[in-house]
Structure 1
Amino acid sequence: MSLIGNILWFIMGGFFMGLSWWLAGLLCAITLVGIPWAKACFVIGQFAFLPFGKEAVSRKSLTRQDDIGTGSLGLIGNILWFVFAGLWLAIGHLMSALLCFVTIIGIPFGLQHLKLAGIALAPIGKTIVDKHVAASM
């Protein structure tokens, strides 16, 4: 079922939101300071291309240990991200979700956009895993 959802998602607009994540990643990668955010953008951009069957989870809950992105530096990074790019990507996903919710068949796609909008607000310290891995946590 995830394969069909991902194919329809990609054709019906997920491609554009994935490209917007990658564009944000390219803009972040221009500076050396933005490289951690660029890495997050490329990982989540790939997730935005094919979101069905996957979940974003905290690396701390997955590995049971802190790292640089799940501690206080990750919090600072997420605040900076929210101010400069996260809010805009979240608005893009919210607008796309509203368009999807207009039709009954678009509701699953709208839910995926809402999931991605939440991730857009604070992506540092998250990783993408299969749904069954996220359910076992």
Structure 2
Amino acid sequence: MGCLGNAVWFIFGGAVSGLSWCLAGCLWCVTVVGIPIGLQCFKLASLSFFPFGKEVIYGGGAGSFLLNIIWLLVSGLPLAAEHLCLGLFLCVTVVGIPFGLQQFKLAKLALMPFGAEVC
């Protein structure tokens, strides 16, 4: 069922979401200092492309908190707004509710990506 959900997801919103994360990763990798942040973006792009069957566990310490603050100010708000808008759009129909919930999961992740582990 997860495979079918991921296939439908990729067609109806996953490709756009994943490409947004890849774009953010490419922009962060332009500088040497931003490469670790860009690599995290690429990891989360794979989650955004195929989110069904995966869980996000939040944790981290002071370093993750500082990176999340910098991330939120630079890239987090636009990505979270994108996921939130797509999630609201998908929740209009009963069939789209599971896909909208995945978008909301990704919106939370867009606000706090550092210290999060994808299982």
Does the TM-score normalized on the shorter chain lie above 0.5? yes
Q: CA deviation at 1:79?
A: 0.3
TM-score using structure 2 length: 0.96
| Secondary structure at the counterpart of residue 93 of structure 2 | coil
Structure 2 unaligned regions, length at least 5: none
The runs of at least 4 consecutive aligned structure 1 residues that moved more than 4 Å come to none
Q: CA deviation at 1:102?
A: 1.2
Partner letter of residue 40 of structure 2? A
Q: CA deviation at 1:52?
A: 0.2
What percent of counterpart residues are identical?
A: 47
Q: CA deviation at 1:4?
A: 0.7
| Secondary structure at the counterpart of residue 117 of structure 2 | strand
Q: CA deviation at 1:71?
A: 2.1
| Secondary structure at the counterpart of residue 55 of structure 2 | strand
Structure 2 equivalent of residue 54 of structure 1 = 54
Structure 1 equivalent of residue 100 of structure 2 = 110
Structure 2 equivalent of residue 33 of structure 1 = 33
Partner letter of residue 49 of structure 2? F
The C-alpha deviation readout for 1:81-130, integer Å capped at 9, x for no partner, is 0010011100000000011011111000000000000000010111211x
Q: 2:87, 2:80 → 1: CA distance?
A: 10
Equivalent pairs, count: 119
Structure 2 equivalent of residue 124 of structure 1 = 114
Structure 1 unaligned regions, length at least 5: 61-69, 130-137
Q: Give the one of 83, 89, 92 matched to 2:73.
A: 83
Q: 2:13, 2:101 → 1: CA distance?
A: 14
TM-score using structure 1 length: 0.84
Larger radius of gyration: 1
